[in-house]
């Protein structure tokens, strides 16, 4: 069996003619007088079907958050400290060392941003960031309130994507809440607890909707409630009978829009972070990896698996930049934290545009498929309310051509209106009217 994972050196793992009237006459072998009212018609090609973009899972907006999830003592808080370069996470060798979630922003490494800063030489540089939460450890029975179950699940509900840390290292000095190291059992526990809690929530919501639809009637509100009822029934079947996560079902855009309002735990994208010992990480081998991949393929097909080592990442945080570079070169490896951050942003469908000038170069975070007024509104709500136009050009064009003047000379400097969908790497100047 061939298995691919994301390691430092391997990836996981994608005319008509102007003579139209004359031509038609000739083809039909007809002769018309100057008073003829019969005109030959061209056969037009069939219209292309316009497919609406797929509605994204999750809350609308740009201030989205990722949460670190896992059983106790799997390395969550140490990972949080490493990725945020802080000491906020309460790492300790006992369950529930973390009770209240910690929050921090992680700067996003972006070669485009670095180049723009070198090019414009601004007084201020503001990179993009990703908000990360360290959440208390989940235990078996959390869906019924065992341990910190209810608090844990409410904290998971508040985030938009999940980093699920899976322990795949043996260490007699670090206890495991279940007694031994078994990543598949741990994956099953979290999968079950989130799914059971969602099923309970959906069932309660369905009861409320059914009480409404029993009244009958033909109003638009009744029609909408009946559609909700049908979606909830399908959702409950998916969770309880098929035992699948919400995001793995087949849903229409309209159904996804409704499901998004429920903030379900199993609708959130998950990235599986397999925590290896430093030794296994450096040699790129671990006895649990094949089983973990098989589990994800069966239960969460398409979700990303990233093996890494919390111990190694924690060690790097205690070094200077020069020492990190030297250490990674000597060991022929690199930190996986930038890839983990990028994966979190990709799971949330986050992209960036830039505003650039001598005063500031700044990277702004928006969701994919965001239109110009809403993208401008990330800077200030007045830009969205009073949006006029956006002056847009591409990062790649600026880098290739060497100056804004040359970008304009080549016709690459564009004026875009309210329907323009901002693309990743756009450089934008917004124009807004007065209130």
The verdict on whether residue 77 carries a ligand-binding annotation is yes
Please list, in sequence order, all residues whose beta carbon lies within 8 angstroms of the beta carbon of residue 335, skipping any fewer than 6 positions away: 312, 313, 316, 324, 328
Helices (H), 102-182: 111-120, 149-157
Q: Which pLDDT score, from 0 to 100, does residue 172 have?
A: 84
Q: CA–CA separation, 284 vs 217, rounded Å?
A: 63
73 is in an annotated binding site: yes
Find residue 346's DSSP bridge partners.
none
Place of tokens 């928006």: 366
- In whole angstroms, give the CA distance from residue 200 to residue 359: 53
Number of helices (H), then strands (E), belonging to the chain: the values are 16, 12
| DSSP category for residue 325 | H
pLDDT exceeds cutoff 80 at 74:
yes
Residue 175 has pLDDT above 90, yes or no: no
- 349 pLDDT above the threshold of 70: yes
Neighbours of 401 (CB within 10 A): 17
217 annotated ligand binder: no
Residue 88: its pLDDT value, please?
A: 58
Residue 33 has pLDDT above 60, yes or no: no
Band of the pLDDT at 50, cuts 50, 70, 90? Answer: low
Q: Which residue has the higher pLDDT, 23 or 282?
A: 282
Q: What is the dihedral of CA 374, 377, 379, 381, to 10 degrees?
A: -170
Residue 2 has φ and ψ, to the nearest 5°, of -95, 125
Q: Which value, to the nearest 10 degrees, does the dihedral of the CA atoms of residues 222, 224, 229, 235 take?
A: 180
Q: Which residue do the tokens 């399908």 mark?
A: 234
Angle between helices 220-240 and 183-213 (to 10 degrees): 150
The answer to whether residues 138 and 41 touch, using CB atoms and an 8 Å cutoff, is: no
Domains by residue range for the chain, with CATH: 195-256 (no CATH), 369-432 (3.10.20.30)
Nearest partner of 12 among 250, 284, 404, judged by Cα: 284
381 in a labelled binding site: no
**Mean pLDDT value across residues 60-68:** 88
Count CA atoms closer than 13 A to 432's CA, side-chain side: 19
Phi-psi region of 30 (alpha: psi -120 to 50; beta: other; left: phi over 0): beta
Quick: pLDDT tens for 265-316.
999 999 999 999 999 999 999 999 999 999 999 999 999 999 999 999 999 9
**Residue 48 annotated in ligand binding:** no
Q: What is the pTM of this model?
A: 0.82
Q: Which helix (H) or strand (E) holds 391?
A: strand 387-394
| 30 pLDDT higher than 90 | no
Residue 61 has pLDDT above 90, yes or no: no
Instruction: Round to the nearest angstrom and report the end-to-end CA distance of the chain.
Output: 64
pLDDT at residue 109 above 80? yes
DSSP-derived secondary structure for 225-256: HHHHHHHHHHHHHHHHTS---GGGS---HHHH
Q: How far apart are CA 5 and CA 12, in angstroms?
A: 4
pLDDT at 379: 95
Residue 116: helix, strand or coil by DSSP?
A: helix
According to the model, what pLDDT value does residue 14 have? 37
Backbone angles phi, psi at 125, to 5 degrees: -125, 120
Q: Was 18 annotated as part of a binding site?
A: no
Q: Which residues contact 37 (CB under 8 A, 6 or more apart)?
A: none
Alpha-carbon distance of 231 to 224, in angstroms, equals: 11
Tokens of 219: 């109003």
For range 218-247, the mean pLDDT: 96
Q: What is the chain's mean pLDDT, rounded? A: 86
Residue 96's pLDDT band (cuts 50, 70, 90): very low
Specify whether the CB–CB gap between 197 and 143 falls below 8 A. yes
**Binding site annotation covers 276?**
yes
Question: What Rg do the C-alpha atoms of the chain give, in angstroms?
Answer: 27
- Whether the CB-CB separation of 121 and 132 falls below 8 Å is answered with no
């Amino acid at each position: 069996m061939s298995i691919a994972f994301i390691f430092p050196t391997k990836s996981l793992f994608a005319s008509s003619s102007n003579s139209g009237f004359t031509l038609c006459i000739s083809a039909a072998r007809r002769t018309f007088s100057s008073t003829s009212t019969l005109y030959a018609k061209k056969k037009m090609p069939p219209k292309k079907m316009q497919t609406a973009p797929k509605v994204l899972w999750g809350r609308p907006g740009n201030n989205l958050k990722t949460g670190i999830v896992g059983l106790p003592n799997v390395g969550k808080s140490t990972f949080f400290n490493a990725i945020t370069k802080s000491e906020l996470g309460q790492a300790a060798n006992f369950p529930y060392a973390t009770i209240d979630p910690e929050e921090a922003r992680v700067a996003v490494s972006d070669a485009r941003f670095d180049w723009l800063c070198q090019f414009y030489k601004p007084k201020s540089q503001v990179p993009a960031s990703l908000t990360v939460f360290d959440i208390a450890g989940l235990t078996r029975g959390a869906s019924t309130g065992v341990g910190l179950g209810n608090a844990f699940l409410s904290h998971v509900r508040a985030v938009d994507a999940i980093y699920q840390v899976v322990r795949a290292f043996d260490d007699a000095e670090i206890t495991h809440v279940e007694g031994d190291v078994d990543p598949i059992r741990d994956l099953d526990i979290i999968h079950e607890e989130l799914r059971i809690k969602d099923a309970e929530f959906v069932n309660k919501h369905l009861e409320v909707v059914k009480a409404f639809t029993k009244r009958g009637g033909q109003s638009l509100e009744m029609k909408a409630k009946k559609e909700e009822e049908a979606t909830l029934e399908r959702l409950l079947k998916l969770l309880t009978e098929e035992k699948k996560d919400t995001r793995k079902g087949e849903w229409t855009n309209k159904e996804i829009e409704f499901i998004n309002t429920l903030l379900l735990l199993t609708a959130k994208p998950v990235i599986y972070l397999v925590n290896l010992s430093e030794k296994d990480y450096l040699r790129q081998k671990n006895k649990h990896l094949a089983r973990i991949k098989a589990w994800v393929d069966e239960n969460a097909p398409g979700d990303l698996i990233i093996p890494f080592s919390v111990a190694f990442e924690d060690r790097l945080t205690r070094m200077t930049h020069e020492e990190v570079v030297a250490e990674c070169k000597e060991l022929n490896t690199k930190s996986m934290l930038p890839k983990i951050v990028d994966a979190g942003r990709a799971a949330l469908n986050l992209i960036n545009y830039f505003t650039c000038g001598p005063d500031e170069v700044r990277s702004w975070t928006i969701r994919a498929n965001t239109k110009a007024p809403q993208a401008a509104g990330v800077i200030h709500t007045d830009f969205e309310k009073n949006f006029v136009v956006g002056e847009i050009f591409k990062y790649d064009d600026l880098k290739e051509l060497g100056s804004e003047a040359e970008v304009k000379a080549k016709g690459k400097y564009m004026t875009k209106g309210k329907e323009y969908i901002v693309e990743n790497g756009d450089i934008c100047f917004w124009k807004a009217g007065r209130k």
